[in-house]
Amino acid sequence: MSADLELSALLDDVVRSVDEDIAADPGCPDLAAVIARAHELDPQRVPAEAVHEVAQWAPVVSIQQGHRRRRTRDDVELLAARFVAARSATEGGPALELTDEARMALREHRWPGNVRELRNVIQRAISLAHGSRILEADLALHDQGDLMAVEELLTLPYREAHSQLDRYYLRRVMAETRGNITHAAERLGTSRRSLRERLKKLGLVPQDLGPTPKLEARMAELRRRLAPDLPWIRG
Amino acid sequence: MNGVSLEETRVAQAKAGRMEAWAELYQAHYAAIFRHVRYLGGSSAPVEDLVQEVFARALVALPGFDGRASFSTWLHGVAVNVVRNHWRARQSTETAHQRYQDINAVHRASASNEVDRAHMHKRRAEAVYAVLEQLPAHLREAFVLRDLEGFAPADAAAQLGISPGNLSVRASRARERIRQELEKLGWLSPREEVQA
DSSP per-residue letters across B103-153: HHHHHHHHHHS---HHHHHHHHHHHHHHHHHHS-HHHHHHHIIIIIS---H
Confidence at residue A30, expressed as pLDDT on a 0 to 100 scale: 67
- Tell me the pLDDT of chain A (235 aa) as tens digits: 566 778 888 888 888 888 877 777 666 666 777 777 787 788 778 777 776 665 554 444 433 333 334 445 666 777 787 778 777 666 666 778 888 888 888 877 766 545 666 777 887 788 777 778 888 878 877 644 455 556 666 767 777 778 778 877 887 787 777 677 888 888 888 888 888 888 877 766 544 444 445 555 555 555 555 544 444 333 3
pTM reported for the whole predicted model: 0.56
- How much is the average pLDDT of B2-18? 81
Contact yes or no for B55 and A3 at CB 8 A: no
Please give the residue of chain A at the shortest CA–CA distance from B15: A47
- Helix B2-15, helix B19-41: angle, nearest 10: 110
CA A108/CA A102 separation, integer angstroms: 10
| B44 touching A (Cβ < 8 Å) | no
Please give the residue of chain A at the shortest CA–CA distance from B36: A18
Q: Would you say B30 and A34 are in contact if contact means Cβ atoms under 8 Å apart? A: no
Please give the residue of chain B at the shortest CA–CA distance from A10: B124
CA B166/CA B157 separation, integer angstroms: 8
Contact yes or no for B38 and A18 at CB 8 A: yes
Q: Which residues of A fall within a CB distance of 8 Å from B194?
A: none
Can you tell me whether residue A18 is helix, strand or coil? helix
Selected residue with higher pLDDT from B62 and A39:
B62
* φ, ψ (nearest 5 deg) of residue B181: -65, -40
Q: Which of B74-83, B122-131, B149-158 has the lowest mean pLDDT?
A: B122-131
Q: Which residues of B fall within a CB distance of 8 Å from A13?
A: 121-122, 124-125, 128
DSSP lists the bridge partners of residue A232 as none
Selected residue with higher pLDDT from B100 and B64:
B64
CA A153/CA B161 separation, integer angstroms: 54
DSSP lists the bridge partners of residue A134 as A98
Query: How does the average pLDDT of chain B come out, rounded?
Result: 82
CA B23/CA B18 separation, integer angstroms: 9
CA A28/CA B47 separation, integer angstroms: 12
**Which of A7, A46, A56 to probe by mutation at the B interface, max B CB count within 10 Å?**
A7
Confidence at residue A34, expressed as pLDDT on a 0 to 100 scale: 78
**Run of H or E residues at A122:** helix A115-128
Q: Which residues of B fall within a CB distance of 8 Å from A15?
A: 148
CA A123/CA A117 separation, integer angstroms: 10
| B38 touching A (Cβ < 8 Å) | yes
CA B118/CA B115 separation, integer angstroms: 8
Spatial CB neighbours of B84, under 8 Å, sequence gap ≥ 6: B137, B141
B192: left (phi over 0), alpha (psi -120 to 50) or beta: alpha
Confidence at residue A166, expressed as pLDDT on a 0 to 100 scale: 83
Confidence at residue A168, expressed as pLDDT on a 0 to 100 scale: 75
Confidence at residue A207, expressed as pLDDT on a 0 to 100 scale: 42
Q: Which of A18, A28, A41 sits opposite B39 (nearest CB)?
A: A18
Contact yes or no for A22 and B34 at CB 8 A: yes
Contact yes or no for A17 and B125 at CB 8 A: yes
**Run of H or E residues at A134:** strand A133-134
CA B102/CA B150 separation, integer angstroms: 29
Q: Which of A194, A210, A177, A143 is nearest to A23 (CA)?
A: A177
- How much is the average pLDDT of B12-20? 87
* φ, ψ (nearest 5 deg) of residue B33: -70, -35
Confidence at residue A208, expressed as pLDDT on a 0 to 100 scale: 43
Confidence at residue A115, expressed as pLDDT on a 0 to 100 scale: 64
